[in-house]
Amino acid sequence: MSIRLGDIAPNFQAQTTQGEIDFYEFLGDSWGILFSHPADYTPVCTTELGKTALLKDEFAKRNVKVLAVSVDPLDKHKGWINDINETQNCEVTFPIIADEDRKVAGLYDMIHPNASETFTVRSLFVIGPDKKVKLTITYPASTGRNFFEVLRVVDSLQLTANYSVATPADWKDGEDVIVTAAVKTEDIPARFPKGHKIIKPYLRTTPQPNK
């Protein structure tokens, strides 16, 4: 099963390092990030889970709950967390799913046979409060994820969900945004009173409206 943008994220029940969870209940009205790891006690994953733990306050500020998944069993997860906390100077407080039967991996198409028959690829899904998939990113096992980019994307998704704007290349929170084509030029002053620039008829920018 392939997960595409706009699809409803599949719900599931799973054992985690923080007990059994129902994915939808875990998310509640929050945004969610579900991300997979090939296996426990792997070096790149250790740094990724550490970085996620260190960014706990940034995720909380954006009303985002994070949930990791690996095909290894619960006891290995708990031992690995000790290593992560020690080596990355952090405290992992988010749950890690023990997906031994590969149920979650199957629901989210996390096993790519041409990469590995058994281990999950490094997939990441951003899920909105409406339980729809807003972003998918898949990295190879050799390349660690950039979690500042994940936060940047969440900022963009949350902004564009509430305003008729899009974010340009390399945009960061607080910078100018693009007025979407759905807004007529003559309607921009009323919709975006902070001002706007017309670079081309199809390229109109305005200061970020929620700042």
Catalytic machinery residues? 45
Q: Which residue has the tokens 């198409």?
A: 109
Q: Is 175 left (phi over 0), alpha (psi -120 to 50) or beta?
A: beta
Beta strands in the chain (DSSP E): 13-16, 19-22, 31-37, 64-70, 96-98, 122-127, 133-139, 165-166, 177-179, 197-200, 203-206
Q: Which of 103, 115, 134, 118 is nearest to 33 (CA)?
A: 134
Which token pair is 46?
């250790």
Residue 88 identity: Q
Rounded Cα distance, 189 and 108, in Å: 43
Rounded Cα distance, 163 and 172, in Å: 16
